[in-house]
Chains A and B, each alone.
Chain A
Amino acid sequence: MSTTVDTLRGETLTATGITKRFGGLTAVSDASLVAEPGQITSLIGPNGAGKTTFFNCVTGLNPPDTGTVHLGDRDLSGLTPDKRARAGMARTFQRLEVFTGLSVFENLQVAVEAPKATGVFKSLFSLRHRPDPVVSRRVWDTLALLGIDDIAGTTAGSLPTGLSRLVELGRALCTSPSVLLLDEPASGLDATETERLQHVLADLAARGLTILLVEHDVDLVMALSSRIYVLDFGQLIASGTPDEVSHSDAVRAAYLGTTA
């Protein structure tokens, strides 16, 4: 069985009252959201609505001015991004952040190894780097799950965008996350790759992982999501099932630009 999928334990992600200002601009205003295990929750909105800012607030990369983030019953507010990651929060980036100088395999290996930091002196003076079979197994399984095991040895910086997104997704999965935050994972993917991604995400959710998705590919969002939140000018204007959201007047207004 796959080590990647077996170890997944989803937890509820609760973000409450997130507000983020940049100087005079309020990028996100009092936004709250709940993402349940075993479901894909989507966050959509026009360009500049504050989706990525919201992600950065939740993951701690860009701490919010006010608001709290809970994972299960643990309060993660105020923690640094790496502590949140070790607490089970994994993410991908809209603007790629792969480790360009490392091989694809190493990109995922780093993620598996990161939480169990070995002693400094031991690693500074170690004579042999024995590949840990558990780590390797985990990385190979994840690569196979995403269908990118054939490029394991390639330097990540030389990959096209689509494959780099899959590498980021694989890297996120390798941290043993309980919640997965995906920032436009399908942009730059071709049709086959998108289809594969859709299956993978659905499968991960079915196995109990919590997934929060920001995506412009509406087909994908509608097909996958259990619940959709709509962000416009930093404010949540609607939330509900795909069906409810697509019939909401507020959402139509936001996207078509008419005043409701």
Chain B
Amino acid sequence: MATQTLDDLSAAADADATTTTARGEPFGELVLRQLRRNGVAFALLVAFIIYAIQASHHHYNFLFNELLAGLATGSIASLSGIGLVLTYRATGVFNFAQGGAATAVAYIYFELNGRHGWPVALAAIVAMVLGGPLLGLLFEGAVFRPLERRSASTPEKLVANIGVLVVLLAIVTLRYHQNTYQPPSLWPSKPIFHHFLGTQEDLPWETFGDVLVVVAVGVGLSLLFRATKLGTQIRAVVDRRPLAELNAVNANRVSQVAWVLGCAFAGVAGVLYAPSRGLGPGYITLAVLETIGVAVIARLRSIPTAAIAGLVIGVLNTVGQGVSGNQPKIVTNLFVEIFVVATVMFLLVYKNLDEIGSVGSTAALVTGSFGAGSRNRSLPFWGIGLAVLAALAPTVLSVDQTHSLQKIIAYTVVFLSIAAITGFSGHITLATACFAGLGAYTSARIENGYLPWFTSWQPLPHVPPLLAMFIAGLLLVPFGVLIGYPALRRKGLILALLTLAVAQVVDKLVFQEPLFTDRGLTPSRPSIGGWHFTGDKMFTVFELAILGLALLLARNLRSGTLGRALGAMRDSENGATSVGISLRRYKLIIFGASAFLSGLGGALIAQQARAVDLSTGGTFSPLEGLFWFTAVVVGGLSYLSGSVVAACLFFLIDSIIGQDGAGLLIIGLLATQIGWLPGGLVGTASRLTRGGILRRSLSKYVAQDAARKAQPPPGAGLEMTDYARELVGAAPAKRTR
């Protein structure tokens, strides 16, 4: 820990040195340096301006109005992005739960106004001023301060944070179910200015009001930063946390304030988004998750950059849509979804972000012993289990129970792909729902004779469902390998963000695009020879067979030659290369294999539901992917049975309690406390059952180590003197150990 801090400090000192020389350089060189650093962004902006000018057949006033609308969208995004950067810099936690906080505050506004009849203004102000900050205080006190106190690893914080998001969304689901609401606009419907600034256009209150609120918050923030001691301390921590701590800044207090501010900003964004986006499962959360791009462009570091980036993307968003109106729909869509498109582009350009602390391996989440004993047992164990289930399921279970079991089996296949890529090989990827969705989509399309992707062309013959699902799985392998390429150089948070952004892009540009999804999405259940697996009972048997294959694959990714190599890569990439393991080869293998598994599982989910649900916030939404990830971590990332437990948590609790969202709530709560459950539920259970024996057999080494540590360590100074004396030929000082 101490060396870590010193490294950070020296890195900070280096950075200072370069900035100081940079300030002294002539303006021309400064511009050149900035161009080199942000060249891609500049080039894109210039290209866009040229494009907008030549493509624009519109009236100047129209563009002007689009510009204003863009500023409104952009300012909300800026606000949310600033909240993300602020929280990240001050606390070291990238706040995925920001979307949850925004959603919760938006629902508070709706509850006060819609259910309790408070006036719009009062409800909005109470929600924004009290709701967000109180949530922030709660998060900090209940989840993140304990984590900080235990100096938890980065992946652990990430999981706890996603856990908070899951808890918030579960609470919303429990109270409001899957309903959608349309809260009233905060602003009067009439325009604030007619013929604004002499143009033909009116300026609506909507635009003006949103910008006004964001400007007010911005002014408040800058007053806090410039005029108060606390503000100075926050800026110090945001800038260089270790240096600030050395200067007796109370980092805990600053963390608390950062959580409060971050959640307050999220709340304001949520309330402002609510009237236009609507309130429904995940709507606001997805809108706020889009603004991750703003924080990414600022490299998770600079608040001013985040502010500007939000505005620029907002303007590109509306003006781009305006000028590309007569272009192919794909071009327009790129502008509609520019927030997520930009996120992916910048994450691909940046090799690293300004990450705090260690990038972190997933070791903290994984405490499974991959030892010889469990490996030899596992396959017969699973084989017998599946066979017994297959024999019992069709006879004993009721219809509803059979449906639950079918869902559990199909989701287990997908969850195994998460366990394989994160638990067995150490990559945090959040794109599993996207792969499962693509699997379901591709399989259904192939089955119905369509080209797999991107057209409504139907030139092929119908393909049997079983074959279609395997073709779909195989077609996903290159896609998985493609995602694997950036992962050759990226780990930890940046990979998590990249995969989440890819999932968002696919969701927005493919799943939500009627052009691609209006036809051919009716999966049927397989028949092989005279065997029809269409009825509920036979389909369960079929699912069990696929699960058996998935378990075999996952088990070979966990143990055996391949599993050991992947485990080695997870635990230490340097160590793995030093014994001749090619990181490139194994990373591409695991990404390909995991994509295959998720695709297969996705197709199974669709066959079970007899539909491919690609709707916003539906089965394969990026948000759902976050839930799945959390469930598998809670179940046990490094065990095959962890995925089964995760799928059971996901469906059984809801059906036992009879409330949608109850399972999610429990999963989320467990995830926030993942530090107490190393290795998830399965890991903890197995540790409790054999911990005693293990500890006894280890005790002598632990005792040796403690004895050695009790002696004064050979400090650098002491050793150097000794060393020097030796070298100059003086009598060697006998070292006593």
Contact = CB atoms under 8 A, between A and B. Distances in A.
A42 B253 CA distance: 50
Given A162-B708, A174-B579, A246 B372 contact: no
A175 B581 CA distance: 11
User: Interface size bucket, A side?
Assistant: 35 or more
A137 interface: no
Contact of A124 (B557, B581, B724, B726): B557
Interface string A23-54: 11000000000000000000000110000000
Contacts, number: 186
Contact of B562 (A123, A216, A222): A123
Interface stretch (A5-13, A65-73, A108-116, A197-205): A108-116
A85 B578 contact: yes
B564 A101 contact: no
B638 interface: yes
B582 A80 contact: yes
B552 interface: yes
Nearest to A112: B579
B372 A161 contact: no
B731 interface: no
A255 B727 contact: yes
A61 B577 contact: yes
Contacts of B727: 218, 245-246, 251-252, 255
A247 B373 CA distance: 56
Query: Which of the listed residues A80, A99, A102, A128 has the most CB atoms from chain B within 10 Å of its own CB?
Result: A99
| Chain B binding surface SS class | helix
Contacts of B371: 103, 106, 153, 155
Contacts of A219: 726, 732, 735
Interface stretch (B23-31, B308-316, B495-503, B699-707): B699-707
Interface string B382-403: 0000000000000000000000
A256 B579 contact: no
Interface stretch (B77-85, B455-463, B566-574): B566-574
B559 interface: yes
Nearest to B17: A24
Interface stretch (B163-171, B230-238, B287-295, B714-722): B714-722
Interface stretch (B100-108, B174-182, B362-370): B362-370
B190 interface: no
A101 B724 contact: no
B724 A255 contact: yes
A99 B724 contact: no
Contacts of A165: none
Query: Which of the listed residues B367, B373, B702, B708 has the most CB atoms from chain A within 10 Å of its own CB?
Result: B708
B370 A216 contact: no
Contact of A110 (B568, B719, B720): B568
A27 B414 CA distance: 48
A105 interface: yes
Contact of A256 (B14, B18, B366, B724): B724
Interface string B547-590: 00000110011011110110110111011111111110100010
A259 interface: no
A110 B579 contact: yes
A171 interface: yes
A168 B556 CA distance: 25
A57 to B, nearest CB: 14
Given A82-B581, A93-B575, A124-B593, A129 B559 contact: yes
Given A82-B577, A110-B581, A120-B589, A99 B719 contact: no
A10 B366 CA distance: 39
Interface residues of B, number: 64
B728 interface: yes
Interface string A75-102: 0000011110110001101000111111
B697 to A, nearest CB: 8
B369 A155 contact: yes
Nearest to A107: B568
B57 interface: no
A47 B580 contact: no
A191 interface: yes
A139 to B, nearest CB: 11
A82 B582 contact: yes
B545 interface: no
B561 A123 contact: yes
A155 to B, nearest CB: 5
A110 B577 contact: no
A97 B723 contact: no
B507 to A, nearest CB: 29
A179 interface: no
Nearest to B366: A101
Nearest to B582: A82
Contacts of B18: 23
Contacts of A129: 375-376, 559-561
A171 B737 contact: no
Given A154-B698, A190-B708, A190-B737, A98 B580 contact: no
B328 interface: no
A98 B578 CA distance: 11
Query: Which of the listed residues A46, A82, A103, A118 has the most CB atoms from chain B within 10 Å of its own CB?
Result: A82
Contact of A106 (B17, B553, B564): B564
A147 interface: no
Given A106-B371, A155-B369, A98 B557 contact: no
B729 interface: yes
B701 A159 contact: yes
B25 to A, nearest CB: 15
B49 interface: no
A47 B708 CA distance: 23
Given A103-B369, A245-B727, A127 B567 contact: no
Interface string A150-162: 0101110111111
A93 B573 CA distance: 12
Contacts of A209: none
A98 B556 contact: no
B579 A124 contact: no
Contacts of B32: none
A159 B574 CA distance: 19
Nearest to A61: B574
A158 B698 contact: yes
B578 A127 contact: no
A174 B579 CA distance: 8
B379 interface: yes
Given A102-B370, A114-B565, A129-B559, A23 B572 contact: no
Nearest to A168: B575
A113 B581 CA distance: 9
Nearest to B579: A111
Interface in B658-707: 697-698, 701-702, 704-705
Contact of B372 (A98, A105, A113, A163): A105
A125 B570 contact: no
Interface of B: 14, 17-18, 363, 366-373, 375-376, 379, 552-553, 556-557, 559-562, 564-565, 567-568, 570-572, 574-583, 585, 589, 593, 638, 697-698, 701-702, 704-705, 708, 716, 719-720, 722-724, 726-729, 732, 735, 737
23 contacts: A61-B577, A81-B574, A81-B578, A82-B582, A82-B583, A98-B575, A99-B572, A100-B572, A101-B370, A101-B638, A102-B564, A102-B568, A102-B571, A107-B568, A113-B565, A117-B585, A120-B589, A124-B557, A129-B375, A129-B376, A153-B372, A154-B701, A160-B705
The 4 A-B pairs of least Cβ separation, nearest first, read A160-B705, A97-B575, A85-B580, A81-B577
Given A85-B580, A155-B369, 17 more contacts: A47-B720, A61-B578, A80-B582, A81-B577, A85-B577, A97-B574, A99-B567, A101-B366, A101-B369, A106-B370, A107-B568, A118-B562, A126-B556, A129-B375, A171-B575, A190-B708, A255-B728
Interface of A: 23-24, 46-47, 59, 61, 80-83, 85-86, 90-91, 93, 97-103, 105-107, 109-111, 113-115, 117-118, 120, 123-129, 151, 153-155, 157-163, 168, 171-172, 174-175, 190-191, 216, 218-219, 222, 245-247, 251-252, 255-256
